[in-house]
Amino acid sequence: MNDRWQNVLDGSARWAVVQGDCLDVLRDMPDGCVDAVVTDPPYGHKNNDDGDLIHRRECALGKAKVAEAPRAIANDGVEAHELYRTVMPILRRILKPGCCCCCCAGGGGGDPQLANWSLWMAESFSFKQIVVWDKGPMGMGWHYRRSWEAILVGQKPGAACAWYDETNTVENIIRPGQYGVRKIIPDADEHPTPKPWELARHFIQLHSRPNDVILDSFAGRGWVGEAAIRTGRRYIGVEIDPFWAAKSRERLVDVESVGDLFMPATARARIEPKGVLL
Ligand SMILES: C[S@@+](CC[C@H](N)C(=O)[O-])C[C@H]1O[C@@H](n2cnc3c(N)ncnc32)[C@H](O)[C@@H]1O
């Protein structure tokens, strides 16, 4: 059943993770049915051509086996850029006027990805902001090691911007630990590019209200779903990889069963993605 998103739109379900190619799934969704998009597409970094750095290290330590590790990211080659450019106008169509698309876009590198992705977002949206997430300690690389990631924010024209912060203190940078956002270094058997759910919560709370519908077209392990459920929003996730779609569903069932943000620390630990929190 690839149309479970309908139950979320009509309110008979709070969330759905749909397994499939988002280009197919989103095509069937009606115009203006979603209140915010928060998403993290493949960056085209060929993360898993022969196992990523963390995976290779864990193999060397005897903690993981290449054959067992389900770490390949679909569409993580040059095709990622075409996918991104293709999905932007589709996301615009299914968002309500004034509503926003918040899209992770990498932290720079040897190609002008961030520049291209910004321009391609601006083809479909009124370009609103580049938010920098300062991840703190150094990331992978050699010269200019990656220590931040950008989240591009575009607004669908036609109405006032969906913006629900009343403090007027929100900056276009998220500092290490701010809003509870800390980078995750995953174990070798986890999704290779996990984002903290608190990062999604930040954008969800700025751009939507309780019961609104949040879409993640590249759902991965369900980071946006966790944030949506915890903040009382409805959620539709689309993930092409059956393994990660299933893992996402497991995670969200867990999140629902544990309850809200004020859960005790022991229960909280149960639903953290496995890995190191920095
Ligand atoms: C960068 S990862 C997102 C990880 C996510 N931030 C998390 O914390 O789990 C991108 C995800 O998009 C998925 N993907 C790639 N192409 C897709 C497509 N056409 N439709 C839906 N999902 C796709 C990949 O399988 C991968 O899980």
User: Per residue in 28-64, pLDDT tens?
Assistant: 999 999 999 999 999 887 765 555 566 666 677 776 6
Whether 183 lines ligand 1, by a CB cut-off of 6 Å, is: no
Distance 79 CA to ligand 1 centre (A): 13
Q: Is residue 271 lining ligand 1, measured as CB closer than 6 Å?
A: no
Q: Is the CB of 218 within 6 Å of ligand 1?
A: yes
Structure confidence at residue 55 (pLDDT): 64
**Best substitution site from 48, 73, 216 to test ligand 1's pocket, by max atoms within 8 Å of Cβ?**
73
120 — phi, psi (to 5°)? -70, -30
Please write the tens of the pLDDT for every residue from 138-148.
Answer: 766 678 888 89
Q: Please tell me the distance between residue 240's alpha carbon and the centre of ligand 1 in angstroms.
A: 7
Listed by start position, the domains of the chain span: 5-277
Centroid of ligand 1 to alpha carbon of 43 (angstroms): 10
Residue 68 is predicted with a pLDDT of 55
- Cα 74 to averaged position of ligand 1 atoms, centre (Å): 7
What's the CATH class of domain 5-277? alpha beta
Which residues are registered as beta bridge partners of 72?
none
Q: Is 273 in the pocket of ligand 1 (CB under 6 A)?
A: no
Q: Kindly report the pTM of this predicted structure.
A: 0.89
Q: Is the CB of 73 under 6 A from ligand 1?
A: yes
